[in-house]
Amino acid sequence: MKKPVLLGLILVGGVMLVGIVLLSMKLKETQRAEFTVRDQFNSALKSVAEIQDSLNAIAPRETRLLSLTQRTEMGARVTQTQKERMLSTIAGLKESIRNTRERIRELEQSLSGSQAEVASLQRVVAGLKRSVIEKEAAIRRLTARVDSLATAVTTLRADVRHHEETIAEQQQEIEQKGQEIEANRQEIEEKRQEIATVHYIIGTRKMLKQKGIITERGGILGIGKTPELAGAFNAGDFTALDTDRVSVISITGREPRILSAQSRSSYELQPGKTLSRLQIRNSSEFRKVKYLVILVK
């Protein structure tokens, strides 16, 4: 083989060897880029899944809060504890939204300048951002509803306190009226008793004389004297009788006589051997004379 031909073959072989080396380096660089894109893609998918899980976790709490506000609007009573729980739930939802928004921002930064293979993730991120915006709007609506309910509850409690104060005032007024009525009733009863009551005493001539209730006049040498009522006597010696409630006086002794000035038509004297009765027939007429003196033997 001639020398020029050999040199040509060597030159061609060297060029091919250089081409092979450059091609091998290009292939390794392409593989590294593919690995980087694949890692970035997998990391982005993982972030998307975590963000979606975070958004999904918000939904049940949002639903429970919405249900509670709806029940409250339908008339269910809201306690201070429930109000605090609703406000705490809203605060937790807002915190979750803030964290989710930050995760989306970080994902967007990691995707900026990415290869075409992960460009489709941009649409997924845009959907996540729309979901976050919708959640924020829902939370704002729930917050407004809770604030409105809190105002309504405050107003209702103020109305209840006002009604309770009014009821307490009315109750106090009723009690005062009741006391006045009771005082008037007692006064009326005292007046009735005063009108209806007569005071009576039953005794022998000797006893009545000793008590100064009667005196004796006339007669000769102490014989045939007539008993008469004295001008003054001790009211404590008499027994009170309510003629509205009692119309019969039992008399122990013989031959009872009425010495006081009760109208004869207002009563009936029913003598007995040892026990007699005085029957009051007309109490209004009978009690015009307040003291009744009955003489017995």
| The total number of structural domains that make up the chain | 2
Nearest-angstrom CA–CA distance, 288 and 198: 9
Q: What pLDDT score does 171 carry? A: 84
- Residue 116's contacts (CB-CB under 8 Å, 6 or more residues apart) are none
Q: Are 297 and 254 in contact (CB under 8 A)?
A: yes
Q: What is the pLDDT of residue 117?
A: 47
Residue 196 domain-assigned?
no
**For the chain, which residues score pLDDT lower than 50?**
35, 116-117
- Per the rule left: phi > 0, alpha: psi between -120 and 50, beta: everything else, 16 is alpha
**Same domain flag for 159 and 209:** no
State the pLDDT at residue 264.
Answer: 94
pLDDT of residue 114: 54
Element (H, E) at 127: helix 121-196
Backbone angles phi and psi of 234, in degrees to 5? -90, 115
Same domain, 131 and 220: no
pLDDT of residue 276: 94
Pair (108, 68) in one structural domain: yes
pLDDT of 1: 53
Q: Phi/psi of residue 79, each to 5°?
A: -85, 165
pLDDT recorded at residue 74: 60
211 with 167, same domain: the answer is no
Domain with 157 in it: 26-173
| pLDDT value, residue 116 | 43
142 in any annotated domain: yes
- Do 48 and 109 fall within a single domain? yes
Q: For residue 247, which of 261, 265, 267 has the smallest C-alpha distance?
A: 267
Question: What one-character DSSP code corresponds to residue 236?
Answer: G
The pLDDT score that the predictor gives to residue 121 is 61
- Residue 194 covered by a domain: no
Q: Residue 221 carries which side chain, given as an amino acid letter?
A: L
Q: Tell me, yes or no, whether 267 lies in a domain.
A: yes
Tell me how far apart the alpha carbons of residues 101 and 109 are, in angstroms, rounded to a whole number: 12
Give dist(CA 74, CA 66) in Å, integer. 12
Query: Which CATH number goes with the domain that contains 36?
Result: 1.20.58
Alpha-helix residue ranges (DSSP H) falling in 228-271: none
- Within a domain: residue 150? yes
Residue-level pLDDT at 292: 94
pTM, two decimal places = 0.44
